[in-house]
Amino acid sequence: MNHWLNLPNFLTVGRIFAIPGIVSLWWANLLGYALAVALIAFLTDFFDGKLARKLQQITPLGCILDPVADKLLVTSLFLLLAYEAIVPFAFFALVVLRNASQLLSIPILLWWKNISFKVKPKLIPKCATALSFVAIGLGFLQKIQGTHFQGLWTVFLVALGMMELYILVTFWPRFAQIYQGTHDTFE
């Protein structure tokens, strides 16, 4: 068995494959099922890393694939919420800009420039991903209930948007350092 074929990586790939299912359930107006599948996908983000460490199955592929899966999932589901006007378009655009920037860095560095790098996210990016999952879950609940949260929802999205902006602003200098060979880790 190849060292990259393991349970943690299987869970990560499952998160990517869950995206079309969630979107299909959403468009079929099976919103409760869409939320349930999304929650399972969110949980795989927690368990893939825990299992990889516990089973000592951390792989270079998994280290790259996990954040890719997160970004694809978050961007796809925020697109649904932006389409329904549950999240403002400006917030969605910020999420897309941050995630697209980070996703595009992978082929640029690895394949075009042949530069290896590590991904070791610090607390703020990890919190932003977790809070994005919470925001998506709450957004799904708003659609299911037919109501829109006010006040706290806006504060929550502004706080999450500030985190996204911080990550984006700190990402570009680190990308430049890795590109120039003065650093080797995205944090």
DSSP 42-91: HHHHHHHHHHHHHTT---HHHHHHHHHHHHHHHHHHHHHHHHTTSS-HHH
Could you tell me the residue ranges of all domains in the chain? 7-186
Q: Which two tokens stand for residue 73?
A: 């999932």
Which long-range CB contacts under 8 A does 166-169 form with residues at least 24 apart? 166/124, 167/98, 167/124, 167/125, 167/128, 168/94, 168/97, 168/98, 168/101
Chain position carrying tokens 């610090």: 122
Per-residue pLDDT at 3 exceeds 80: no
Q: Convert the pLDDT of each residue in 135-183 to its tens digit.
A: 999 999 999 998 877 788 999 999 999 999 999 999 999 999 999 989 8
Per-residue pLDDT at 52 exceeds 60: yes
d(CA 154, CA 162): 12
Is-contact 178 170, C-beta < 8 A?
no
Q: Convert the pLDDT of each residue in 18-32 to its tens digit.
A: 999 999 999 999 999
Tell me what pLDDT residue 132 has. Answer: 96
Q: Give the pLDDT mean for 62-84.
A: 93
The helix (H) or strand (E) run that includes residue 177 is helix 152-180
Tell me what pLDDT residue 64 has. Answer: 83
Beta-bridge partner residues of 185 = 118
Q: Convert the pLDDT of each residue in 99-143 to its tens digit.
A: 999 999 888 888 888 888 888 888 999 899 999 999 999 999 999
Tell me what pLDDT residue 4 has. Answer: 63
Is-contact 81 139, C-beta < 8 A?
yes
CATH 1.10.510 fits 7-186, yes or no: no
Q: Is the pTM of this model over 0.85?
A: yes
d(CA 61, CA 16): 14
Q: Which two tokens stand for residue 57?
A: 């199955």
Tell me what pLDDT residue 2 has. Answer: 52
